[in-house]
């Protein structure tokens, strides 16, 4: 932990009781596991409709250990963010974000509607000074057990070079805080390593990154996301989302093909049976649940998005991300970096 970390202080994490495919069951299963880990410095709350949440908390035997925060409205997974933002002002996300803004809770974790979570968090928490828009990030598995931190993965479809620079700051500060990497290597996603490559926005972003004081290593390509040469990769949210969904698609295709190939003959079938432990471990490594917890970065408060289809184990990863962000002072680190950049 850094000298700034809030050692000794209680960390208060609020979970959204609604949203996601298996809420509230999965949220409460994750909560049971989190409480079992018995980190005495952690306090958990759950925000939502108490008539729906309290019985499940009681069934799980944890009603006494969790603070229940009342919120009357529930946002549907397919609801337009703007509608949710305006018409459901007592949603679990609204109430949760206000509680974080007011300092009663240190972080909000939600598996709800991403667009609504982003829009409402932005409205209530605002962004860190100097940051125009929050971004959504993901951790990509890389060779040799490593990983690459990748943003924006869909929050901002149209980006300027200034936005890309801000994403680089957010990603770099996140890795410093959450992973303890001192000077994260930042790459700009492009279609070639040469300076002449890419759109005008990307070319200008490269110039700004070179002057930023960040550890900018230059242009990187789609293949580099899975290597060990870069820690943070930034791009606009359209490109990031397509790339992320391409990964999902390829992984599914490969596992599908392997499965059908491996059951196509008796010999291969026997081989597959003997190798099944290994195959399952690889499948797990590519499972979004294992890498769950997409931080919403750039907000003036900590909000973590859990994948809508994550299981309790995945939801627990998202909780862990929130705890690390709080304890390692992500917001302070980002504010300081933005200030230092503004001064140069």
Do 87 and 7 meet the contact criterion of CB atoms below 8 Å apart? no
Q: Pick out residues in 259-318 that bind a copy of itself (CB under 8 A).
A: 261-262, 264-265, 267-268, 270-279, 281-282, 285-286
Which is nearer to a copy of itself, 115 or 295 (by Cβ)? 115
Which is nearer to a copy of itself, 148 or 317 (by Cβ)? 148
Q: Which residues contact 114 (CB under 8 A, 6 or more apart)?
A: 136, 154, 155, 305, 308
Which is nearer to a copy of itself, 153 or 323 (by Cβ)? 153
Q: Does 251 sit near a copy of itself (CB under 8 A)? A: yes
Q: Which stretch binds a copy of itself (CB under 8 A): 23-31, 163-171, 189-197, 321-329?
A: 189-197
Q: 160's torsion region: left (phi>0), alpha (psi -120 to 50) or beta?
A: beta
Strand 11-16 and strand 107-110: pairing? parallel
Q: Which stretch binds a copy of itself (CB under 8 A): 8-16, 177-185, 243-251, 317-325?
A: 243-251
Q: Does 68 sit near a copy of itself (CB under 8 A)? A: no
The site that binds a copy of itself (CB under 8 A) totals a number of residues, namely 63
Q: Does 249 sit near a copy of itself (CB under 8 A)? A: yes
Instruction: Decide: residue 231, CB within 10 A, 0-12 exposed, 13-18 middle, 19+ buried.
Output: buried
Instruction: Decide: residue 105, CB within 10 A, 0-12 exposed, 13-18 middle, 19+ buried.
Output: buried
User: Residue 61 half-sphere exposure, CB side, CA atoms within 13 Å?
Assistant: 4
Q: Does 204 sit near a copy of itself (CB under 8 A)? A: no
Residue 113 CB, shortest distance to a copy of itself, in Å, is 12
Which is nearer to a copy of itself, 41 or 271 (by Cβ)? 271
Q: Does 112 sit near a copy of itself (CB under 8 A)? A: no
Among 154, 171, 293, 298, binds a copy of itself (CB under 8 A): 154
Nearest to 76 by CA among 28, 115, 25, 109: 115
What number of H helices and E strands is found in the chain?
12, 11
Q: Does 340 sit near a copy of itself (CB under 8 A)? A: no
Do 310 and 115 meet the contact criterion of CB atoms below 8 Å apart? no
List of residues contacting a copy of itself (CB under 8 A): 80, 141-143, 154, 157-158, 189, 191, 196-200, 202, 221-227, 235, 237-239, 241-254, 256-258, 261-262, 264-265, 267-268, 270-279, 281-282, 285-286
């Amino acid at each position: 932990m850094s000298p700034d970390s809030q050692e000794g202080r209680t960390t208060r994490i609020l979970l959204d009781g609604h949203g996601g495919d298996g809420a509230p069951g999965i949220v409460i299963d994750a909560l049971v596991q989190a409480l079992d880990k018995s980190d005495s410095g952690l306090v958990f709350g759950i925000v939502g409709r108490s008539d729906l949440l309290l019985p499940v908390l009681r069934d799980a035997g944890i009603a006494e250990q969790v603070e229940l925060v009342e919120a009357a409205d529930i946002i549907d997974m397919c609801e337009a963010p703007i509608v949710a933002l305006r018409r459901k002002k007592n949603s679990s996300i609204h109430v949760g974000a206000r509680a974080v803004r007011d300092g009663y809770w240190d972080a909000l974790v939600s598996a709800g509607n991403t667009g609504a979570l982003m829009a409402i968090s932005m409205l209530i928490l605002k962004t860190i000074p100097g940051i125009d828009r929050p971004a959504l990030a993901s951790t990509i598995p890389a060779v040799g057990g490593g990983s690459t931190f990748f943003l924006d993965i869909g929050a901002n479809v149209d980006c300027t070079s200034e936005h890309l620079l801000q994403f680089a700051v957010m990603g770099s500060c996140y890795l410093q805080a959450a992973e303890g990497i001192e000077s994260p290597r930042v790459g700009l996603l492009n279609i070639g390593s040469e300076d002449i490559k890419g759109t005008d926005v990307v070319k200008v972003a490269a110039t700004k990154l070179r002057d930023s004081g960040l550890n900018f290593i230059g242009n990187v390509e789609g293949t580099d996301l899975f290597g060990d040469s870069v820690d943070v990769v930034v791009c606009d949210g359209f490109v990031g989302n397509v790339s992320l969904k391409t990964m999902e698609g390829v992984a599914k295709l490969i596992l599908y093909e392997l499965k059908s190939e491996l059951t196509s003959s008796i010999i291969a079938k026997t081989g597959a049976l003997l190798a099944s432990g290994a195959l399952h471990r690889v499948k797990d490594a590519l499972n979004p649940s294992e890498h769950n917890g997409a931080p919403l970065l750039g907000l003036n408060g900590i909000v973590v998005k859990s994948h809508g289809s994550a299981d309790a184990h995945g939801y627990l990863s998202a909780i862990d991300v929130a705890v690390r962000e709080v304890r390692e002072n992500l917001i302070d680190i980002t504010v300081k970096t933005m200030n230092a950049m503004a001064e140069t």
